Structure 1
Amino acid sequence: MAPIVKAAVIQLYPKPMQLEHNFNKAANFVRSAAAQGAELAVLPEYHLTGWVPKDPGFFGLCDQWETYLRKYRDLAKECGICIVPGTIAEVHRENEDAEDRLLNVCYFIDHEGNIAGRYVKKNLWGPEREHLTASGRDVHEVFDTPIGKVGLLICWDLAFPEAFRELIASGAKIIIIPTFWTHKDCNEAGLSLNPAAEALFLDSMLTARAFENTCAVVFANAGGPPGQGYIGLSQVTVPFVGPLAKLGGCAEGMSVVDIDMQILEDAEDNYKVRADIASEDWHYDYRHSKTKERL
């Protein structure tokens, strides 16, 4: 029988510009998850700083990324738990003459404090493009971890099935997605039709991605005070079942769930998605581009 992975999704309010406050709150949740036997704890995107790139102090805070990465590595070793610390906004300098680059980075830290995986956000949401540097045409890597083969994506990557296909083609069974997604990400036209359009987007896509890729999706979104647009809906989703558990509403909280990896094997046995992709005559062997030659 395939193993069971106990995972914790942590839904936090990222208090803007308050790194130490946000870290301490996150660390308390991680310790609680470890005490409940969780092997993995996942935090939301931008959970340390919030997303306030136009604040004059934002880049200075992002310059502290190495300090907080070390804190999470120490926390993982202390608690004996794997941690995906949401995303950490990082300032990088190539040299003194080059402009600073701001990256949105997701790490997988194993239970001994080692970095088992690193991913830079590829598909930037519109307002991010003025500030962030994406990972461009870098391939989506799959990482060997204590809980199995893992792929990392971030927020708006959820909208691109190509990202999932690339990961499962390389063997990913669990795909982890830290997110900062709110109702305010919908335009006026969409909100006039459905004020909960973004919640519908998330619930629909998470279930669809789990089914169509025979994988488990671990999704940790930001939460926050009512009336500020936070969606929450952090969840762990698998094929056949849909959400194993879901944090309803926008409140902070944590859900610890058992992921029965046999479900993924049974789903693949039924749908044979991975088998089709691996076949020699697989027909979708190109990238969607008007300027690049098809491979």
Structure 2
Amino acid sequence: MTTLRMAAVAAEFGRDLEEDFAVAERLIKEAREQEVRLLALPEACLGGYLLSLDDDSALDEGPPALALDGPEIRRLASLAGEMTVVAGYCEAAFEKGAAARYNSVVCVNGDGVLGNHRKVHQPLSEDASYASGDRFHAFDTPVGRIGMMICYDKAFPESARALALDGAEIGVVVSAWPGSRTNAAADLVDDRWKRRFDLFDRARALENQIVWISANQAGTFGSLRFVGSAKVVDPGGEILADTGVGAGLAVAELDVAQALETARRSMGHLRDRRPETYTYAGVVSP
């Protein structure tokens, strides 16, 4: 039996990159001390998220845009070392003769970049600050085949299903998921957006019968109050570890291959699909 020790982070990050790297380094060290091999840091942990989900372009310049092959991502890879680390950042790109910024998540270890994903689904006014990604794909790492998503991506079943069909054994979603904008609960534990955050995590794991690691921002930034609730979920939709609404590290250990085999033995949700029946307007869904 080969087990994997994995962890999801709930923590507060802001605009100052040096402060963000100090927090990331502390968390990586803490995870290493607990023999974690796969660690997920939140969305926008390098440079912070947006100050609000309204158009905040007049409030500040937004997070610093970092090149995928630039010194900051190399620094993150160096901190990761033997560990596989997933972290969110604002990606600088130059495409079709123009500069673009993406809300992205990168997977690294000491050897460099293992995978990268650009957020596809953009809530509210996020498209005023970022261009949109255009695909979901899984990739191989030393700890297994991983598929990555960012925040609102997980609200769409097709996102995680596309990754599962591409062979992902572990879904990693990084978020800057806030509490409700209206009728906000005094206690985040009772917040309806927190309940949705948790429901999506459990549903995506269960419907695809994959291991699910969910990291999120904690604390506050601008007008946003984040719900924390980082967690590890097994392929049956059961929560193995959870930080609650505060900052922390949710750590769990699992034999991933055995867990997937057990979950899929009788009712295999991927195996038992009938894609020829999933049609709308004459188009066959994946």
Normalising by structure 2, report the TM-score: 0.86
Q: Are the aligned partners of 1:12 and 1:26 in contact in 2 as well (CA < 8 Å)?
A: no
Deviation at 1:225, TM superposition (A): 5.3
Match of 2:19 in 1: 21
How far has the Cα of 1:57 moved from its partner? 3.9
Query: Where in structure 2 are the equivalents of 1:148-227 lying within 5 Å?
Result: 148-184=144-180, 186-188=181-183, 196-224=191-219
Deviations 1:253-279 (A, max 9, x none): 2122112322221111132112124xx
Indicate conservation of the 8 Å contact 2:9/2:215, yes or no: yes
Tell me the secondary structure at the aligned position of residue 45 of structure 2.
coil
Moved more, 254-263 or 46-55: 46-55
Which of 268, 276, 284 is 1:283 aligned to?
276
**Residue 70 of structure 1: which of 71, 74, 85 is its match?**
74
Moved more, 213-222 or 224-233: 224-233
Aligned residues: 274
Q: How does 1:221-240 map to 2 (within 5 A)?
A: 221-224=216-219, 229-240=225-236
**Residues 293/225 of structure 1: CA separation in 2 closer, same or farther (3 Å cut):** closer
> Amino acid of the residue matched to residue 23 of structure 1?
F
CA gap of 1:293–1:203, structure 2 versus 1, over 3 A, is closer
Match of 2:142 in 1: 146
**Greater CA drift, 194-203 or 41-50:** 194-203
> Could you state the TM-score of these two structures normalised by the residue count of structure 1?
0.84
Deviation, 1:56, is 4.1
Q: State the shift of 1:284 in Å.
A: 4.7
C-alpha distance in 1 between matches for 2:19 and 2:275: 50
Task: Give the Å deviation of 1:282.
Answer: 3.5
- Supply the distance in 1 between the matched residues of 2:220 and 2:130 (Cα, whole angstroms): 27
Q: Contact 2:206–2:237 at 8 Å: present in 1 too?
A: no
Residue among 29, 47, 50 paired with 1:49? 47
Alpha-carbon shift at residue 206 of structure 1 (Å): 1.1
C-alpha separation in 1, matches of 2:112 and 2:269: 32
Q: 1:276–1:241: structure 2 CA closer, same or farther, 3 Å change rule?
A: closer
Q: Deviations over 1:169-201 (max 9, x none)?
A: 1211100001000114x445x879x96111110
- Please say if 1:273 is aligned against 2:269: yes
Partner in structure 2 of residue 81 of structure 1: 83
Give identity over the alignment, percent.
24
- Distance across 2 between alignment mates of 1:146 and 1:284: 37
The structure with more helix, counted as a fraction of residues: 1
CA distance in 1, matches of 2:283, 2:253: 44
Kindly tell me: are residues 167 and 37 of structure 1, through their superposed partners in 2, closer, same or farther at Cα, counting changes over 3 Å? same
- Matched residues in 2 for 1:259 and 1:49: separation? 32
Correspondence for 2:111: 113
CA contact (8 A) 1:9 1:255 kept: yes
Larger proportion of strand: 2
1:204 shift after superposition: 1.4
- SS of equivalent to 2:31: helix
In structure 2, the CA distance between the partners of 1:130 and 1:57, relative to structure 1 (3 Å rule), is closer
Look up the SS of the partner of 2:130 in the other structure.
Answer: coil
Aligned residue in 2 for 1:129? 127
Distance 1:63 1:41, change over 3 A: closer
8 Å contact kept, 2:74–2:112: no
> Could you give the per-residue CA deviations for residues 182-228 of structure 1, whole angstroms, max 9, x where no partner exists?
114x445x879x96111110111211111111011100000115996
Distance 1:159 1:243 in 2: 18
- The aligned runs of 1:91-102 (5 Å cut-off) are 91-94=92-95, 98=98, 100-102=99-101
1:206/1:56 Cα in 2 relative to 1: closer, same or farther (>3 Å)?
closer
Report the equivalent of 1:38.
36
2-structure distance, mates of 1:64, 1:20? 17
Shift of 1:44: 0.3
CA RMSD for the aligned pairs? 2.6
Partner SS state of residue 133, structure 1: coil
Q: Which runs of 4+ in 1 moved over 4 A?
A: 225-228, 292-295
